[in-house]
Every structure is written in C-alpha cells, then in structure tokens.
Structure 1
Amino acid sequence: MATRLRPSSKRCAVIGGSGFLGRHLVEQLVARGYSVSVFDMRQSYELQGVTFHLGDLCDKQALLSALQGVSLVFHCASPAPASDDRALFQRVNVDGTRTVLQACREAGVQKLVLTSSASVVFEGRDIKDGKEDLPYAKKPIDCYTETKIQQEKLVLDACDKEKGFLTVAIRPHGIFGPRDPQLVPTLVEMARGGKMKFIIGDGSNLVDFTFVENVVHGHILAAELLRPESPLCGQAYHITNDEPVRFWDFMSQVLVGLGYDAPRYHLPYWLVYGLALLLWLLALLLRPVLRLQPTFTPMRVALAGTHHYYSCSRAKRDMGYKPLVGLQEAIVRTVESYPHLRRGA
C-alpha cells in the first residue's frame, strides 16, 4: 500500500500547467521556491523542480497521483474560448472541475485557486468598471462563458472552512503576453488574410487587456493570502492591468509593432453583429452535413465593439494587488517575443 504524503505548504499542483497561463504560473512558482506538480494532457517543456503527470481531467485516480503531498492547487485548465465544441467545454470546465474538487478533498488539499473569467458576467452589452457583485450572465453569449459560470459556482460553493478546504476564483480578462497561442497569432493570421482593415463600431470602446505576468501575480497573491480568517474565502476577484484601453488602439499597436497596417475603415457595430449571428446560425444548421467555422462569431464581435472593463478595487483592498507590468511595457515585450510573426518573416 502506497504511503500517503503529508501536504506541504511549499508543494503545489498546477492543473493545466502546460498551457499558456499555466506555464507562466509554474515558472513563477518555481522561482518562489515551490515544488510543483503539473497535471495536463501533454508535456510541453521541462523545468527543474517540476514533476509532470499526464492524464485526463475526468480521471480521478490520475489526478490523485498528481496531488500527493500537495496543499495548494491552481486549476487553470480550459479549452480555448474560440472553440465551439459544447461537449468539450462541458467535459473539461464542468465535469472535470467536479472531479478536481473530489480529488482535492480525498488528497487532503487545503486550498484551490481557480482561473475563472471576467466573461462570466458579460452578455454582449457594455460593462464599465464592473465589480464582482455583477450577476452572472443570464444569457451567456457562448458555451465557453456558460460553462465557466457553472465552473466558478462549483468551486466557490465548495469552500468549507470547517473542513479545511478553501477556494477562491481569479477572473482575468484579455490575457496576453509571450508564448500566447491565441490573441497575437490570430490577429496576425487575420491581418495576413486581409481581414484587419475594418474597425467595428466607432472605435471608442474601452476594454481590459491583461499581461500574463500580472495574472500570475494575482493568482499567487490569492493563494498565499487564502486563510480561514481571510475575506478571500469563497470569493471571486477581477485581475486586470487596471488600464482600460480602446480595443482598436491596442490591436493597432500590436499590428503596427509587427509591421502590419492598422485597421482604418469603420463598419456599424449592429450590422457586423447581425451578420455574425446569421453566420453562426447557418453554421449550426449545416453542422450535421458540413462543418463551418466562421471567423467572426457573435462573441468576437461583441468583444470588439462594446465597452468591457472591470474594477480591481476588491483585489487591491483584500490582496494588495497592483499590476507588476504596465500596459505599454507589456505590449512592447509581447511584440518583441514574436519575431517569427513579423511582416515578411
């Protein structure tokens, strides 16, 4: 019979630690003296002080092997928001999270930090300086958001001080930075295909983009301050760069930094949203016979044409959170990390 290790405060697990945010989180945890177990479906790197466990998120036995001796778990595994695979989102974000919670309790884990999303309150309409007390979206704009709402509820409801299992959710928004496989590569692909000439709406809408190092900082602060007497228990926290920026200004800075032209022509927001909705419905109807993946989904159009930025006042008050890297420096560092995506490269 295997000996069960006693949980150590400096031993943690990162579920989804091979992904974009997960790897940055693992690197910072190791730098802070943690011993880290990574649980993921793949191993994308090697790092001293890190043990990799490969498996399915819904396999509790596989999870238990990764959680031996672990007192703290970061759960940041999720399919990319751009996917339209409802079954995959349900399996990973909801069913997988239930399994994670069961495994944590059985393994004696004391703290769980969830990577949630600010989109859990977004319905495609303007949000300005949104606080955490905004209600969950009643009409989630996509299945990613729908399952992230269910996931966050599961994790926060699982917080139990009497049983010694504490949970907190971090809600980042618009994560970007070096090694990002989504935002910058997708932007460049669209620019190369001639699809970044147009601005949706009047271009004045403010949004949050959050540098990955600041998101990691928020996760680690929450983990280290999560105690029975802490106000963090069972709560959600927005973590952003705290510098709302015009959506199209941000996109233009990244594009121009990589040698591409900034978008110049304006299209009415509701026209583009309506077209995106029609294409989405068409793709849904044709799915049994033909698989279509529209470039502009209703969610993408809503994100590009509305205000959506969030207050970090709760994180500042309860965690002393302050972004480590300002937005302009973050954009420069991100652009410099993609020499292979430069125009003509």
Structure 2
Amino acid sequence: MNHPEPAAGPVLVTGGCGFIGSAVVRAFADAGREVRVVNPRCRPFRDDVQFLDLDIRNGAGLAEACNGVETVVHCASVVQTRNTAQHEMWEVNHGGTRNVLDACRRGRVRKLVHISSASVVYEGRDLEAGDEGLPYAKASLSAYADSKIAAEQDVLEFAAEGSTSACALRPHLVFGPGDTRFLPNILRRADGAGIREVGTRSKLSDFVYIDNVVDAIMAAEDQLEPGTPVCGQAYFVTNGEPIAFFEFVERLLTAMGYPPVRKRVPYWLAYAGAGLVEAFHSVVRTGETSEDGLSRFAVRYLNTHHYFRIDKARRDLHWRPRTALEQGIQQTAAAVTR
C-alpha cells in the first residue's frame, strides 16, 4: 500500500521582517507552510504567520522557537560597510549564527538554509566569473565581510555533523520591491544633491532580483537531504547578467522618471573622502548608522569587477533566475512609483 508523503513541516525565518526575510515568509506562507518569524521589534504583516519578538542573540529563546521546526532559513544580519557597528556585526552575524546552529541541534531541525554574502570571497581586487572554488578572503576589508566569513564557515562545518542538512547561499546586490537599504539610499541621493558616479563604467557587477533569491532559497530547502550534493555546500545566487554598477542605477532611476546620471567623481577623490568620513565616524559615532556609500569598502567595490558563475546553483538546486534583470528593474520601478 502506498502512503502519501507527509506534509512539509514548519519553517522558521530569522530576520523575517527584513527585505529578504519578509519575501521568504510570504513565499512559504503562500505555499501553505506553517511559518514562524524571529525578529526583534517586528510589526506583523500576515495573520497566518507567527511573529516572535526575539533577537537571535538570545540563544535560549531561539532554541525554544525552533522546537518542532523542520527548516530554518537564516536571514538575520547586520549589514554595514563601515566598521562603526563592528561589535553588533560580530554579535549578530557570527554569534547569532552560532546560536542558530545550537538551536538546530537542540530542536532536531532537519534543514538549514543560511543566507551568506558574495563578499566572503572579495579582497578588493577584480573578480570575474568567480565560482565557489574561490577561497575565503584573507584581507580584512570590513567587519561585515569578516563576520559573514566566520558565520558561513561555521554553517558548513555544522553540516558535516550530520544532524541537520545545511547549505549557504551567497546572493549579490539584491534589489526589488520592499528593499529597505539599497534602493532607499539611491533615492535619497537622487532626490537630494543627485547621484554622483564614482570612477568609470568599465567594471561589471552582479545583481539579483528578490524573487530569484526566494526561488533559490525554496529550491535549496527542497533539495536539502542527507547525502545530497547540496548539504555542506555554498552557492552564488545572482541574475547572471553582469552590468556596470552605475549603468544599473541609471536604468533604475530613468525607469522611475529621473534624469540620467550626469555627475561624476574620480575614484581617488571618492576613496579619500570616504576615508575622512570613516575617520569622523570612528571618533563621534558608534553602533549602526545609515548607509550612504561613503566607505572605502564601498568605493573600492564600485570600481572592481565582481561577478560570479551560477552554474553550480543551476545544477544542484535545479534553479534558474526566472526574472530577467530588465524585467526586475521595471517591476521595481513600478512598485516604487505606484
């Protein structure tokens, strides 16, 4: 007698009120899964989702939240290219991830999809068609990248224990409706003094539309089983359509009715200015601050190639980016101007 497959169990999403996390929550809830969100000071946005006002630095609370959970999607992260919040980044990005791993052990969670970053392999030099064979960056460029490296290493080592099937996804410059960081920063500048292009458009960057990231997360969760090629692996997740950073910004702005980018700042001047701004912040500010692109890490990032192959994700996850870059740009512009 054939027995029906058991229904997929609950999904817990850390950082489920953030840009990526909220999109993941909606996708799993729409698919009929029971979803729990772990996020401090989060305003619930769906009646069919359980929202827990909980910081992942609270290990005991996180372990309790993971009871009965089949899959954890770990999105929670502090993202900042300056180092004024390095204490918070290490506490959340690395320490919080270690709490997630412990909660998975204690709660006998079957699957873990960890959202890492493509910056874990970036050393300030050109990366052209990089793949997962690249080593972790040894040059420390920011506390964010360093903390994400440590977190991803812990996740992949944890996968080898065999108690929870785990993998890491490395999205690069995620954009789309609901963005709370990248797009708002661009619009603030466009509405203020205007966008100033840094350097030239000779360097290419990868971007990835939010729906493609969510698809990759759900595909990874579906493929994660003991003994499969996915367990213990990291995957770059991009649109696979590299483009100059300010070409992308200009396309997005013109789709929203803004004029083309006309102003330009030489690389050396932007880098020196970013150094002065960072020095100022190191003296008068600590903790998280709003991102404005004025960090040496960001300026260097804008003026190096950083794009990646996605063959491994296509092969192992049976995933492909279904929303093309231009379609994503138009959908983002329509959502913002609606």
Tell me the TM-score normalized by structure 1. Answer: 0.90
Q: Indicate whether 1:50 and 2:53 are aligned.
A: no
Which secondary structure does the structure 2 equivalent of 1:158 belong to?
A: helix
Cα RMSD over matched residues? 2.1
Partner of 1:316 in structure 2? 314
Measured against aligned partners, the alpha-carbon deviations of 1:297-317 in whole angstroms (never above 9, x if no partner) come to: 112212222211111011112
Shift of residue 94, structure 1, vs aligned partner? 1.1
CA distance in 2, matches of 1:153, 1:293: 26
- Equivalence for 2:253: 255
> Which structure 2 residue ranges, 5 or more long, are not aligned?
1-5
C-alpha distance after superposition, 1:59-80 (max 9, x if no partner): 2221123212111100000123
Alpha-carbon distance in 2 for matches of 1:315, 1:270: 37
Letter in 2 for 1:21: I
How big is the shift at 1:193? 2.1
Aligned-partner residue type, residue 113 of structure 1: V
Equivalence map 1:67-86=2 (5 Å): 67-82=66-81, 84-86=84-86
Please list every run of at least 4 consecutive aligned residues from structure 1 whose deviation after the TM superposition is greater than 3 angstroms: 285-288, 291-295
Tell me the distance in 2 between the aligned counterparts of 1:22 and 1:287: 28
Which residue of 244, 262, 265 maps to 1:264?
A: 262
Tell me if the contact between 2:80 and 2:291 (Cα under 8 Å) persists in the aligned partners: no
SS at match of 2:57: coil
For structure 1, the 5+ residue unaligned runs are 1-6, 341-345
- Report the counterpart of residue 206 of structure 2 in structure 1: 208
**In structure 1, C-alpha distance between the alignment counterparts of 2:292 and 2:182, rounded to whole Å:** 16
In the other structure, the counterpart of 2:3 is none
Q: Percent identity?
A: 36
Query: Residue deviations 1:306-343, cap 9 Å, x none?
Result: 21111101111211221021111100110111127xxx
Aligned amino acid, residue 204 of structure 2: L
Return the offset for 1:282.
4.2
Q: Identify the residue that residue 104 of structure 2 maps to in structure 1.
A: 104
CA distance in 2, matches of 1:56, 1:274: 37
Q: Which aligned pairs between 1:62-141 and structure 2 lie closer than 5 A?
A: 62-82=61-81, 84-141=84-141
> Partner residue of 1:35?
34
Size of the alignment, in residue pairs? Answer: 330
**1:328 counterpart residue number:** 326
**Deviation, structure 1 residue 233:** 1.3
Change (3 A) 1:292 1:309: closer
Alignment check: 8 A CA contact 1:8 1:71 kept: no
Tell me: CA distance 1:75–1:200, structure 2 relative to 1, closer, same or farther (3 Å). same
- Deviation track 1:222-271 (CA, whole Å, cap 9, x = no partner) reads 11101112111111000001111121111001122223222224433233
Contact 2:168 2:235 in 1 (8 A): yes
Check whether the contact 2:14–2:75 (CA below 8 A) recurs between aligned residues. yes
1:32 is displaced (CA, Å) by: 1.8
- 1:303 counterpart letter in structure 2: Y
Give the AA of the match of 1:80. V
Alignment partners' CA distance in 1, 2:88 and 2:18: 16
Letter of the 1:155 partner, please give it. V
In structure 1, how many angstroms separate the alpha carbons of the residues matched to 2:52 and 2:43?
12
Give the CA deviation at 1:48. 4.0
Please report how far the alpha carbon of residue 45 of structure 1 lies from its aligned counterpart in structure 2 after TM superposition: 3.0
Q: Which has the higher contact order (CA 8 A, sep 6+)?
A: 2
How far, CA to CA, are the matches of 2:51 and 2:295 in structure 1?
36
Residue 203 of structure 1, CA deviation: 1.2
Q: Is the 8 A contact 2:63 2:102 kept in 1?
A: no
Any idea what SS the aligned residue of 2:8 has?
A: strand
* Distance 1:294-1:189 versus aligned 2 partners, 3 A rule: closer
Secondary structure of 2:9's match? strand
CA shift for structure 1 position 200: 1.6
> What secondary structure, in the 3-state scheme, does the structure 1 residue paired with 2:225 have?
coil
Are the aligned partners of 1:8 and 1:69 in contact in 2 as well (CA < 8 Å)? no
Q: Any residues of structure 2 matched to 1:192-203 within 5 Å, and which?
A: 192-196=191-195, 198-203=196-201
